[in-house]
Chains A and B, each alone.
Chain A
């Protein structure tokens, strides 16, 4: 009897310890969000989304006149959306096809090579990818800093995550699904495109959204490629701004330093939005 009692206490103690430690992991995120809201919310207004980043002079004049911070981060928002969209257009088809190859021919030498490369790629520092994109695109192709070079650097960063999530989602499908399609006389290609990929869609989509949210906040590779721009530009061959680049610029300018909090709040919010959407979508698809 006492033994049972002891075990019950031990069980409870273990349970509460696990809960307490799990709660600790939430502290950093919550405190980051709290800090950003506290310091950044006051600069977030309509013009924050519609106007380009203020120049040092504008900020200085506004400050001496006792007015609020002028301008916004519209050039950064447009730049981020442009660079990330183009990066996705490059990375998604390649990543999905590589993931299909890995899942379908799991043990071929070629697959082992891809898997190994993707793992290594995942460990390459983002600044190195920026240098690569600089060498491949900035100098030979666009002849100067460009949004395209930034997209390429981010696309390479997105690949490992897309490849892995595609592979895992396809592997989770029962083999009988593929067999059922082939048993109806379908070709291998049709089976992959019409049965396997749609059935694995929820997992793949989650992986794609997570990879987008991952590269959205990247700064280092963009410094070497997209550089930054004070105007809104949709030209891929020209330098472009991005929200993390703006945060970096604001940080380096004593008159604009107040803007880093609101820009960071916006960037974090955007990334969390992608993460939460990814979760919701995968949940919805699963229950369907």
Chain B
């Protein structure tokens, strides 16, 4: 579809005709093409079941875990096809934060931040570790709250703190893209505000793609917005422009609260 490809000067990620099916012949995501701008926040909106999370998980190849799910099309990161790369390399370069905070229960806060390194067998010196932990926890503004309990289990923290810890764990590996699957839907409004402020800070260093069912959130933080409906990418534009003058009738209806 013409209107779904917006011109970008330096796209970091290009999606071309991405289709995902859970059962043969039934598409949860159908022929989605889009380019994602570097150091921006791109929001994927849409009603429940529209395929927004499915599209997001196609980007870091999370669908590989489930043999029944088929992904077609091409996704390129720096002009290399993600589907032909080693999935482990893809996931190191494209981090992911999940809907429910999921710090590793067997690890301390400190170990959770460094999990990306330890799980990939990367050995670090003590000073390097300390530095990464402090920097990442400062980046997610969690440092002051946990600096005295770094060696306690991460599961002790509140939901919002746990989610910030999960973001710290993802950015510790310095990914190029950060995928976020409704990262605030399990959190209260104050914790949500915290994370949103954080994302605006983080986009200076990372490209963020966030799935959200919260239109207000998309309007507040994103530079670009995709609107998906029944597996189709209906509209993709600068957020301000889409909220101001949506081109498609369905987008207009969704944004005005007529469904969703």
**Does B119 lie within 8 Å of A174, measured CB to CB?**
no
Can you list 18 A-B contacts with CB-CB less than 8 angstroms, sorted by A residue number?
A: A176-B99, A180-B96, A180-B102, A180-B104, A180-B169, A184-B92, A184-B169, A184-B170, A184-B173, A185-B90, A185-B92, A187-B88, A190-B120, A191-B119, A195-B104, A199-B104, A199-B105, A199-B106
Which residue of chain A has the shortest Cβ distance to B89 in the bound complex?
A: A185
Interface check A288, CB cutoff 8 A: yes
Contact of A186 among B105, B106, B119, B166 (CB under 8 A): B119
Within 8 A of A (CB), among B73-106: 88-92, 95-96, 98-100, 102, 104-106
Interface check A182, CB cutoff 8 A: yes
Which residue of chain B has the shortest Cβ distance to A194 in the bound complex?
A: B119
**Does A180 lie within 8 Å of B166, measured CB to CB?**
yes
Interface check B42, CB cutoff 8 A: no
Interface check A181, CB cutoff 8 A: yes
Q: Within the assembled complex, what's the spacing in Å between the Cα atoms of A190 and B91?
A: 15
Q: Which residues of A contact B88 (CB under 8 A)?
A: 185-187
**Does A185 lie within 8 Å of B91, measured CB to CB?**
yes
Known contacts: A176-B98, A190-B119, A288-B153. The answer to whether A183 contacts B60 by CB under 8 A is: yes
Task: Give the total of B residues in contact with A, Cβ under 8 Å.
Answer: 29
Main SS of chain A's interface residues?
A: helix
Interface check B185, CB cutoff 8 A: no
Residues of chain A having any CB pair with chain B under 8 Å = 174, 176-187, 190-191, 194-195, 198-199, 201, 288
**Does B120 lie within 8 Å of A185, measured CB to CB?**
yes
Q: Which residues of A contact B11 (CB under 8 A)?
A: none
The smallest C-beta distance from B96 to any residue of chain A, in angstroms, reads 4
Interface check B233, CB cutoff 8 A: no
Which residue of chain B has the shortest Cβ distance to A178 in the bound complex?
A: B65
Q: Which residues of B contact A176 (CB under 8 A)?
A: 98-100, 102
Q: Within the assembled complex, what's the spacing in Å between the Cα atoms of A195 and B120?
A: 12
Q: Which residues of A contact B115 (CB under 8 A)?
A: 181, 184
Residues of chain B having any CB pair with chain A under 8 Å = 60, 62, 65, 88-92, 95-96, 98-100, 102, 104-106, 115-116, 118-121, 153, 155, 166, 169-170, 173
Residue with the greatest number of chain B CB neighbours at <10 A, chosen from A180, A183, A199, A201: A183
**Does B104 lie within 8 Å of A183, measured CB to CB?**
no
Residue with the greatest number of chain B CB neighbours at <10 A, chosen from A174, A180, A194: A180
The smallest C-beta distance from A7 to any residue of chain B, in angstroms, reads 39
**Does A190 lie within 8 Å of B62, measured CB to CB?**
no
**Does A198 lie within 8 Å of B119, measured CB to CB?**
no
Q: Which residues of B contact A190 (CB under 8 A)?
A: 119-121
Which residue of chain B has the shortest Cβ distance to A198 in the bound complex?
A: B106
Q: Within the assembled complex, what's the spacing in Å between the Cα atoms of A239 and B37?
A: 74
Q: Which residues of A contact B102 (CB under 8 A)?
A: 174, 176-177, 179-180
Contact of A185 among B100, B106, B116, B153 (CB under 8 A): B116
Q: Within the assembled complex, what's the spacing in Å between the Cα atoms of A180 and B165?
A: 12
**Does B105 lie within 8 Å of A183, measured CB to CB?**
no
Which residue of chain B has the shortest Cβ distance to A190 in the bound complex?
A: B119
Q: Which residues of B contact A174 (CB under 8 A)?
A: 100, 102
Q: Which residues of B contact A201 (CB under 8 A)?
A: 106
Known contacts: A179-B65, A190-B119, A195-B106. The answer to whether A185 contacts B173 by CB under 8 A is: yes
Which residue of chain A has the shortest Cβ distance to B112 in the bound complex?
A: A180
Q: Which residues of B contact A181 (CB under 8 A)?
A: 104, 115, 119
For the complex of A and B, 3 pairs with smallest distance between CB atoms: A185-B92, A198-B106, A186-B119
Q: Which residues of B contact A195 (CB under 8 A)?
A: 104, 106, 119
Q: Within the assembled complex, what's the spacing in Å between the Cα atoms of A201 and B106?
A: 9
**Does B60 lie within 8 Å of A177, measured CB to CB?**
no
Which residue of chain B has the shortest Cβ distance to A181 in the bound complex?
A: B119
Q: Within the assembled complex, what's the spacing in Å between the Cα atoms of A176 and B105?
A: 12
Residue with the greatest number of chain A CB neighbours at <10 A, chosen from B89, B92, B155: B92
Q: Within the assembled complex, what's the spacing in Å between the Cα atoms of A288 and B151?
A: 13
The smallest C-beta distance from A212 to any residue of chain B, in angstroms, reads 23
The smallest C-beta distance from A122 to any residue of chain B, in angstroms, reads 29
Q: Within the assembled complex, what's the spacing in Å between the Cα atoms of A174 and B99?
A: 12
Contact of B65 among A177, A182, A187 (CB under 8 A): A182
The smallest C-beta distance from B69 to any residue of chain A, in angstroms, reads 13
Q: Which residues of B contact A177 (CB under 8 A)?
A: 102, 104-105
Q: Which residues of A contact B95 (CB under 8 A)?
A: 183-184
Residue with the greatest number of chain A CB neighbours at <10 A, chosen from B95, B96, B98, B105: B105
